[in-house]
Amino acid sequence: MQTRFKLIPDRMLNSTTVAGIRDTTLGRIGADGNPAGGNVIRFNNPSPGTRSDFSRICIDPNGVSNRANPHIPVPQGAVNAAAKTQKVLKVTGKVLLVVSIVASGIRIAKSIYDEIDIDSEIEGLEHMIDCLEEDLRGCSPNEMTDKKRHATSLKSFSKTPTTASATLGKKRFSRVCASVENGLEERL
């Protein structure tokens, strides 16, 4: 995320400067060892009684106001629109922060849910193995053919990716599926 340029803070706005952009790499060094920042673009209202008695955009490339810097005349509507845009952008930034925190929380909750879900799939496969082992004990040759057909369908199920197998427990899911295949092949 870009952090060099920021909106001019409210404490630095007044009846003349109503909006603008601040370069955080300019200005004097503060107590924390970081530059205080400097306003590089300002939207200003007219300053009555001065030579700047007109609506303007001030470009201050070094972050320091200077009468030699460009003062571009603009309609008063442009300055008013910039002030409103600055307020909207400040609110939008806070809303986007909240949205990103909520989205991260949802992703974490889904990961936890998927982990719980894969545990139930693994338990189900382990139960199927136990049932198949129990069924294989004492089967006649005809019944053995039916069991082989069921074992083949279970093998194809274990190779089909599921939502749970695609998440956190993928390795664990694969190990259980492999043990199902190996156990069935040994008994058949």
Interatomic CA distance for residues 181 and 152, integer angstroms: 9
Spans of the chain below 70 pLDDT: 1-2, 135-188
Report in angstroms the alpha-carbon separations of 161 from 26, 119, 125, 126, 173.
54, 15, 14, 17, 10
Encode pLDDT of 94-113 as tens digits.
Answer: 888 888 888 888 888 888 77
Encode pLDDT of 111-120 as tens digits.
Answer: 877 777 777 7
